Amino acid sequence: FLASATRRRPMRPPDGGAGGEPPETDMSMRLSRSIVGEAEAEAVHRVICEDGYLGIGREVQQFEADVAAYLGVPASWVISVNTGTAALHLAVEAVLGHGSGAEVLVPSLTFVASFQAIGGAGAVPVACDARLDTATIDLADAERRLTPRTKAIMPVHYASNPVDLDGVYAFAEKHGLRVIEDAAHAFGCLYKGRKIGSFGDVACFSFDGIKNITCGEGGCLVAFEAEAAHLASDARLLSVENDAQKRFAGARSWDPDVKRQGWRYHMSNIMAAIGRVQLSRLEAEFIPARRALAARYAEKLASVPGVALLHTDPQDFIVPHIMPVRILHGRKDEVKDALAARNLPTGVHYKPNHLLSCFNTGQSLPVTEQLYAELVTLPMHPGLTTEDVDAICEGVAQALAR
């Protein structure tokens, strides 16, 4: 939404206004939302009216260079694409090959994109249980699911929390696995003082409309191996050899060769223009706002009986994309209903993939299922105020005090 459209509007009672009209929702009180304005609009205007080429070109190249500079890696390692799901798909293919049939260990508590990307690459997602304190992958459970076909592990930085990456990489080295980080929530986050995406094997980010930065839609992968980066760069443009680099130079491949499966996953100049502005706002504006809101939630909810917060260590390394909390003692739906009655939105991140028909193998993951029964996502975006957070926390506390 443009900045001119974000004026606060008074909340109406839950039963609506006069004449039985539905309640009008205060825009700031959405569960998540894009924070875009005139600078992003001007960037899009520049691409449309001055450049005139809307596909993949120099603006995309510059966005990749900007992301690389932010992360402190070579620009050739950053491969921009049209969604975070595409980034995961290309990452799996780049490190395992297309149609490998290899097994990939992945936590069940993740957006279905993680599983679809693995399956789309012709690999097999193996659902693993989660840790109760962090909702991230339980390496002990993952170890029990190893087979001779296991070739990779995909840790998911759930709620922007890159938990125990040292342990993940040690696990991978011990068992000869590749690591594909699903860092869709974690752009701007740190692990032991280092930015996610500045080290590792392969890291994948999402830049959809409500992430820590947005391109409207979009994503990227960061590959720390030249061959994987080259394969992914070609594969996003139907595996036409070196086509991305030619388009960055304003040329095309009129006599192309194609040696492997590819996809039409490239980012557009319009998306990149939005992303470049968003990246310039991240450190000064978005990160402080998200961290301050998370700290306010923690302060207000830490002593509320019946609420458990997920553990992050240290908290000031996290740039929270979402704000999930555990509602204990079977009262999740009660709290959601009470907040809805106050016109306060909530969500659920996520239904575990092993409970979805496509990926249901009949297995039981008890901790993941407990988390699914408890997790409620509260509003989180830089358009919120501390007063908004206080109202949400008051609603949670009063619902649980009944």
Phi-psi region of 281 (alpha: psi -120 to 50; beta: other; left: phi over 0): alpha
Cα-flanking dihedrals φ and ψ of residue 229, to 5°? Answer: -65, -40
Q: Is 391 exposed, middle or buried (0-12, 13-18, 19+ CB in 10 A)?
A: middle
Measuring CA to CA, which residue among 107, 63, 106 is closest to residue 82?
Answer: 63
Total length of the chain: 402
Query: What does the alpha-carbon distance between residue 207 and residue 292 come to, in Å, rounded to a whole number?
Result: 22
Full strand arrangement of the beta sheet holding 323-327:
307-309, 323-327, 375-378
Is 211 in the active site?
A: yes
Distant-in-sequence, close-in-space partners of 28: CB < 8 Å, separation ≥ 6: 6, 8, 383, 384, 385, 388
Query: What does the alpha-carbon distance between residue 341 and residue 150 come to, in Å, rounded to a whole number?
Result: 47
Q: What tokens appear for 371 in the block? A: 């988390």
Q: Which residues pair with 206 in a beta bridge?
A: 219
DSSP 299-368: HHHTT-TTEEEPP-SSGGG---S-EEEEE-TT-HHHHHHHHHHTT---B-----GGGSGGG--S---HHH
Query: What does the alpha-carbon distance between residue 105 and residue 177 come to, in Å, rounded to a whole number?
Result: 10
CB 129 within 8 A of CB 367: yes
Catalytic-role residue among 151, 211, 332, 336: 211
Residue with tokens 């901790």: 367
Measuring CA to CA, which residue among 295, 323, 319 is closest to residue 212?
Answer: 319
CB 289 within 8 A of CB 379: no
DSSP 203-261: EEEE-STTSSS--SS-EEEEESSHHHHHHHHHHTBTTBTTHHHHHHTT---SS--B-S-
The catalytic residue positions are 211
